[in-house]
Amino acid sequence: MNPALPSAEAVAVRGDRILGVGSLDELTRWGDHRVDDTFRDHVLTPGFVEAHSHVMSGGTWEHVYVGFFDRRDPTGRVWPGCKSIDEVVTRLREADAAMTDPDQIMICWGLDPIYLTGERLVGRHLDAVSERRQIFILHASGHLATVNSAVIRHDNITADNPTPGIQLDEYGQPNGELQEPAAMSLASGQRMLREGYASELAKWNYAYEARNAGHTLVTDLGTSSVDEQGVANWSAVTSHPDYPTRVMVAGSVFATALPPEDIARRVVQLRDNPPNDKLRFGIIKLIIDGSIQGFTARLTWPYYFNPPAGHAENGLWLMPPDQVPDIVEIFHRAGLTVHCHCNGDQAAEVFISAVEQALERHPRWDHRHTVQHCQLTTPSQYARMAALGMHANIFSNHIFYWGDQHAAFTVGPERAARMDACATAERLGVEFSFHSDTPVTPLGHLHVAWCAVNRLTATNQVLGPEERISVDSAMRAATIGAARQIKLDHEIGSIQAGKLADFAVLEDDPYEVDPTALKDIGVWGTVVGGRHFPAGTG
């Protein structure tokens, strides 16, 4: 990713940093050295940088997976997907039979009813497993949950509760679907999940997933608290010499009880004085809307194409739009970079306008405020983003995992063809990266790059061929593009003298394989700060 030297024979490392790049003969002139040819049959790229993921990815494997697609856990075990409501119920029954305490809550994850043909899975299907044991299923998007009647009774979730997002059945009673954090937090299972995200095991599993996919930095975007205890927990883990990745932790108004002004001061302090070299701070996460496949994202007219019966015309605001400018301004004035979740184009409009207002009041160079997800961001919005110096982090994995469903159900064929528009961002001059949003989709930039380059859906349909990008553009998005969004491009994102010795070690060259084979490239592991971390099970 260094345009002055796009490829080379060897790299020299001294300590944890890159001493030089070039031919072996050139590098030996640095003086005393040892030639390490461990990777003579491999390809080194800059370590992949994930600018949008969540530590909960490491914690979810303590619970029951009921997703549609097969999924590999941090130990390497592949969990088969559940292709129907019957298969979901069967897996739940197996889990129920294995639980010895009848009062223990069963927590599951990965479900998305949009994949399952026929009726929508709701609470009564879970009652077929147990009406006594509480069952809580987190959807794949993380924006919805489905619970059984035991949860509804235990947590007193009623039809007259004013909390938005409680879905009702034809009799006007809660049907078990809870949309977005306010409604989901009514359930004990959601609170238990959040406690698990902070565990030491979750943090280690998160790092193992990163290492196995070639990532040398992952961003925990808004999951963790930046209060003293939250930072201490992260510091204890990342300071261990065997911890195999770097972590950027974003401050968030959703992850702590601190007011925005205190969060800003705290993150600035941590940015300027990081606890250790593997733990970084300096960015803020905001969330404006929900999930497109959950029909809770905020879209402009004509809204949703073919939503399930009972869904509202549009999605939910997770922050009141009129409050967004003031909150953005607080973090902007503090010198921080704001990363804002905007799945729908209506949500993106609110954030872009808030950034524009903040810049008018407090001009600031090189802020790099970033629209996260950018699923329906329009060409006119990208043009405004370019003019304002904003970045885009695009959810390209959606093309494969939900592309068919977006065309058939959520937004229709025309808008689906321009979703996750990397080519438009590139053409209009917006710096961009892409992401997995793990655990929403599996962590791994080779798969995300494959999606951005090929735009193939799960049924092998090309969705919006005009939005395909080159392999080189995808590799830049996976490395230096993501590093720039979190303002660490002076240290990571390319292989050049002075930067940290962080590499992805691949079995094949992404520039040499057929573009359709990008996702199939094997990963030997990583090098982080000059130390080898081979992929494995722990």
The number of residues making up the chain comes to 538
pLDDT digit string, tens, across residues 41-94: 999 999 999 999 999 999 999 999 999 999 999 988 899 999 999 999 999 999
Provide the pLDDT for residue 193: 87
Strands 391-394 and 432-434: parallel
Region of residue 484 (left: phi > 0; alpha: psi -120 to 50; beta: else): alpha
pLDDT more than 90, % of the chain:
94
Over 80: is that where the pLDDT of 537 sits? no
Task: Tokens for 356, please give them.
Answer: 């524009």
Q: Which of 121, 154, 138 is nearest to 59 (CA)?
A: 138
Residue type, 62: E
Could you give the domains of the chain? 59-194 (3.10.310.70)
Rounded Cα–Cα distance for residues 268 and 512 (Å): 42
Over 80: is that where the pLDDT of 519 sits? yes
pLDDT band at 196 (very low <50, low <70, confident <90, very high): confident
Residue type, 503: F
Over 90: is that where the pLDDT of 362 sits? yes
Over 80: is that where the pLDDT of 133 sits? yes
Provide the pLDDT for residue 2: 86
pLDDT band at 185 (very low <50, low <70, confident <90, very high): very high
Provide the pLDDT for residue 243: 98
Rounded Cα–Cα distance for residues 513 and 422 (Å): 21
pTM score, whole prediction? 0.96
Q: Give residue for tokens 């720039």.
A: 484
- Which H or E element spans position 171? none
Query: In whole numbers, what is the pLDDT of the chain averaged over residues?
Result: 97
The DSSP 8-state label assigned to residue 357 in this structure reads H
Rounded Cα–Cα distance for residues 253 and 285 (Å): 8
pLDDT digit string, tens, across residues 253-302: 988 888 999 999 999 999 999 999 999 999 999 999 999 999 999 999 99
